[in-house]
Structure 1
């Protein structure tokens, strides 16, 4: 396999990442200069939410594959005493895809477990400031770290088109590894969308969260 192809793809993705960096300033601009970028910010948030919805659809499909593959494993093993590595790997890959592709949608819908005990006690503005600060201080750095640490292993996996170590396994281990940076990129993008919403709620460009939204978030809180 020609290594230059993967080097070109990697370089292109890096440039794409660098070119997208100014977008992460949009929530801060919306705070410091209200009404200046509100229209663009809302469209960007809407687009990100749409992409997250597509990823959620893929996560749901993965969950169905997981259910049927687990059912097949149980029937084959306990009825016919048969076991296949490729079928076991399907369950692993589908579970990973369900989790990694659905994480951004969970953030969008307020379904992530929250460990902060102060946020629910704040008013509307305080909650939005906590959300905005947490995204920039914790979510973005963690996602960037995941992207940086997964780069070398992913490049090698694609270069070799790495497959299963089992003789009857699936030859798509390189795609499995690709889920890691995809997970980080989706989560970063949705974090940007949530930061935009929080900033626009602070400035009054968006209405406050509904009781249903607050209840959904409250259900995910932990001490």
Structure 2
């Protein structure tokens, strides 16, 4: 595999790892927010209206940010009925096919998310609730994380091509 492609894969893998670690800690933030909500609502009888929505936004950020690392580590859900019976070459070929389908899906998702972000910016979109938070931050994060998923998909594609060519990936 040419050195620039290998470097690309290494950089994208490191970014995915870094973003994945940040995502991992968002669970603790979400638990803290929900605990704060439970205490203020049930113990001191002062409900904080922003807690549930903040927890929802944190969960959305968690799964947006965790996608690339999940793919990189192979921890995603796969239909193993046929996949486990394939040879190593067959698995790489199947992964190339599924990555191609995933790439199509991600590009369509990216187009839609950019459109949604543009709308949020143009209209200063807010969620209709008592807290009334802006939608721009979460939609910006969504666009960035979909871009990272596309970059990780390309990286995985290169790794499977290299494996089919008999190259060892370190």
Deviation at residue 90 of structure 1 after TM alignment:
1.3
Q: How far, CA to CA, are the matches of 1:55 and 1:107 in structure 2?
A: 13
Query: Quick check: 1:45–1:193 contact (8 Å CA) kept in 2?
Result: yes
Deviation at residue 51 of structure 1 after TM alignment:
1.3
Alignment of 1:1-223 (within 5 A): 37-136=1-100, 138-170=101-133, 172-206=134-168
The CA deviation string for residues 11-52 of structure 1, in whole angstroms up to 9 with x for no partner, is xxxxxxxxxxxxxxxxxxxxxxxxxx5322211110110111
Deviation at residue 65 of structure 1 after TM alignment:
1.0
Question: Aligned residue for 1:15?
Answer: none
RMSD: 1.9
What TM-score, normalized to structure 2?
Answer: 0.90
Aligned residues: 170
Deviation at residue 86 of structure 1 after TM alignment:
1.9
What TM-score, normalized to structure 1?
Answer: 0.70
Structure 2 unmatched ranges of 5 or more:
none
Query: Quick check: 2:126–2:135 contact (8 Å CA) kept in 1?
Result: yes
Q: How far, CA to CA, are the matches of 2:132 and 2:32 in structure 1?
A: 18
Q: How far, CA to CA, are the matches of 1:72 and 1:149 in structure 2?
A: 35
Q: How far, CA to CA, are the matches of 1:129 and 1:92 in structure 2?
A: 38
Structure 1 unmatched ranges of 5 or more:
1-36, 209-223
The CA deviation string for residues 102-160 of structure 1, in whole angstroms up to 9 with x for no partner, is 01101111110102421211111111111111101x11011011112223221021233
